Amino acid sequence: MLKRIAETLGFKKKRKSSGPHIVPPGSHPIEPTDISRAASEVVIGLEEAGYKAYVVGGCVRDLLLGLKPKDFDVATDATPEQVKTIFRRAQIIGRRFRIVHVRFGREVIEVTTFRAHHTNNPGKDKNLSRQSKEGMLLRDNVFGSIDEDASRRDFSINAMYYHPTDNTIYDYADGLADLEQKTLRIIGDAATRYREDPVRMLRAARFAAKLNFDLDDNTLAPIAEYASLLSDISSARLFDESLKLFMSGAAFATYEQLRQLALFAELFPQTNRLIDDDFYQKLISQAMRNTDTRINNRQRVTPAFIYAALLWPALVEQRKAYTAKGDSPLYALQQAGSDVIQQQIKRTAIPRRFTTMMKEIWDLQGRLNKRNGQNAARLFSHPRFRAAYDFLLLREQAGEQTHGLGEWWTLYQEVDDDERETMVAALPKQKSGNKRRRRPRRKPKVDHAS
Ligand code: ATP
Ligand code: MG
């Protein structure tokens, strides 16, 4: 596919003296029908109202690469207020970067007004443009022309505009050439662009991993110095970004990129300190691979599971401090889990619904070996049983010794009620049958690395 594009683009693109490369119909593989109905309707609606509009960004890039776009973004010269008056189900969102969400059934089209450089803010309105002393854009709402908009986008491959009616691509930053060469190149001066928005470094890791592209030298060079600027980004935005990093079907490659670029430490400092340990390394890598397999098989993935895995190393270490004080294994597990979450939400604001689920998954790791009597049946009917069972298998895949616990639960799920009872009856009797005693004397059998 790429080769075909390269061949097609090699000779047919025309360039006006300063404007974009213009790639006419027939010289590129995109068809108007590749664009979602909703996105086409947004473009047409805006044009009928007298504005310019294009689909832009990831969808054009992905279609050129033969990938299915995740969503469709539209860029226009209409202001957010003007966009809102045109579409019935439109909502202005964001403050730092105001955009409009236009809803068509279940699909949401992000409509962005062309952005300009911040020198174009004569009135110095603080809601339009505001910059921190480090150069970070706290407001990025200065509007401008399509040329300016293109130069404000992050990477050359994300600065291609496609018009679904004239079926033409407008390539402003030589994105097509970079697509052919599988190169991720930031637009403009890399250091300035990372200072303006440090999240662009995470986006670099994500696109390089997802597309299997190399970072060009200038795009790569400043990351080592600027990675720490990510601590200035709100934890809410970093949480959203973390989902894009790990839930796009290339979590493992992204994780490796993040580690290589020393960005992982900025997002998961607690885990990063432990990651040289072989078991933890395997656990995280395996969790990422499993996530990719599930996403690529269209199975459900919850951020709670991914986060539970990403923070497990820190939990296990923290748990040791509690058990050393004499706390029961289960209590130690719960307290360590709370501590680790409390630290993590300073970096990525994990919503409560997910932290609750993470705690349940972790809690069940301490309970899955207690199968006597009615316990097995009770555990099996727990709403988080399946996730907890998957997590147990993950620990085993990473090399933890659980004395066949995963296999036992696999079999338990496969057999009928009678056989389940037989399985439970065949278990060795638990000594800690005395319900009043809260602290077992023995160390837990499935405790890694303690
Ligand atoms: P995908 O949707 O597949 O994750 P995308 O490239 O479409 O990738 P979005 O976050 O949807 O990414 O953003 C749409 C477009 O907006 C990008 O392609 C890029 O042109 C621009 N963009 C997004 N975030 C930034 C940023 N932080 N700085 C500059 N431009 C950005
Ligand atoms: Mg997009």
- Closest of 184, 182, 178 to residue 202, by C-alpha: 184
Q: Which helix (H) or strand (E) holds 102?
A: strand 99-104
How long, in residues, is the chain? 450
52 token code pair:
């310019």
Residue 437 has pLDDT above 50, yes or no: no
Confidence of residue 306 (pLDDT cuts 50, 70, 90): very high
In terms of pLDDT, which residue wins out, 435 or 348?
348
Taking CA atoms only, the protein residue closest to ligand 1 atom 6 is 58
Q: What is the distance between the alpha carbons of residues 133 and 142, in angstroms, rounded to a whole number?
A: 19
Residue 350 · residue 239 · CB < 8 Å: yes
The pick from 64, 153, 189, 202 for probing ligand 1's pocket by mutation, whose C-beta has the most ligand atoms within 8 angstroms, reads 153
Residue 450 has pLDDT above 50, yes or no: no
Q: What is the pLDDT of residue 146?
A: 97
Q: What is the pLDDT of residue 289?
A: 97
Question: What number of helices (H) and strands (E) belong to the chain?
Answer: 22, 13
Residue 152 has pLDDT above 80, yes or no: yes
280 residue type, one letter: Y
Q: What is the pLDDT of residue 123?
A: 65
How many angstroms separate the alpha carbon of residue 108 from the centre of ligand 2? 11
How many angstroms separate the alpha carbon of residue 373 from the centre of ligand 1? 54
Q: Which residues contact 415 (CB under 8 A, 6 or more apart)?
A: 423
Residues less than 5 Å from ion ligand 2, measured at CB = 58, 71, 73
Residues of the chain with pLDDT > 90: what percent?
84
Confidence of residue 443 (pLDDT cuts 50, 70, 90): low
Q: What is the pLDDT of residue 11?
A: 38
Query: b/e per residue, 282-303, with b = 16+ CB within 10 A?
Result: bbbbbbbbbbbebbeeeeebbb
Residue 394 has pLDDT above 80, yes or no: yes
140 CB less than 6 Å from ligand 1? no
How far is CA 416 from its chain centroid?
40
Q: What is the pLDDT of residue 134?
A: 85
Provide mean pLDDT across the span 436-440. Answer: 51
Rg of the Cα trace of the chain?
26
Atom of ligand 1 nearest to the CA of 200: 27
**DSSP state, 36?**
-
Taking CA atoms only, the protein residue closest to ligand 1 atom 4 is 58
Residue 217 has pLDDT above 60, yes or no: yes
Which residue stretches of 264-302 are H helix? Answer: 264-267, 269-272, 278-296
Residue 202 has pLDDT above 60, yes or no: yes
Q: What is the pLDDT of residue 440?
A: 54
Q: What is the pLDDT of residues 373-385, one digit of tens each?
A: 999 999 999 999 9
SS3 450: coil
* Domains identified in the chain and CATH numbers: 2-181 (3.30.460.10), 270-425 (1.10.3090.10)
**Residue 162: beta bridge partners?**
55, 169
Q: What is the pLDDT of residue 19?
A: 86
Q: What is the dihedral of CA 57, 241, 223, 117, to 10 degrees?
A: 50
206 token code pair:
């994500």
Q: What is the distance between the alpha carbons of residues 237 and 140, in angstroms, rounded to a whole number?
A: 15
Residue 69 has pLDDT above 70, yes or no: yes
Q: What is the pLDDT of residue 434?
A: 46
**DSSP state, 156?**
G
Provide mean pLDDT across the span 133-141. Answer: 87
Q: What is the pLDDT of residue 122?
A: 61
Q: What is the pLDDT of residues 341-363, one digit of tens each?
A: 999 999 999 999 999 999 999 99
**Residue 420: beta bridge partners?**
none
Residue 12 has pLDDT above 90, yes or no: no
Provide mean pLDDT across the span 106-125. Answer: 84
Q: What is the pLDDT of residue 99?
A: 96
Q: What is the distance between the alpha carbons of residues 118 and 108, in angstroms, rounded to a whole number?
A: 29
Residues forming the active site: 71, 73, 154
Which of left, alpha, beta for 373 (phi over 0: left; psi -120 to 50: alpha)? left
Taking CA atoms only, the protein residue closest to ligand 1 atom 15 is 57
Four-residue CA torsion sign, 177, 180, 181, 186 = positive
In terms of pLDDT, which residue wins out, 129 or 12?
129
Confidence of residue 131 (pLDDT cuts 50, 70, 90): confident
294 token code pair:
């599930």
Instruction: Give me the chain's average pLDDT, please.
Output: 92
Q: What is the pLDDT of residue 7?
A: 56
Q: What is the dihedral of CA 125, 126, 129, 130, to 10 degrees?
A: 150
How many angstroms separate the alpha carbon of residue 57 from the centre of ligand 1? 6
Q: What is the pLDDT of residues 237-284, one digit of tens each?
A: 999 999 999 999 999 999 999 999 999 999 999 999 999 999 999 999
The pick from 35, 73, 254 for probing ligand 1's pocket by mutation, whose C-beta has the most ligand atoms within 8 angstroms, reads 73
Taking CA atoms only, the protein residue closest to ligand 1 atom 17 is 57
In terms of pLDDT, which residue wins out, 153 or 429?
153
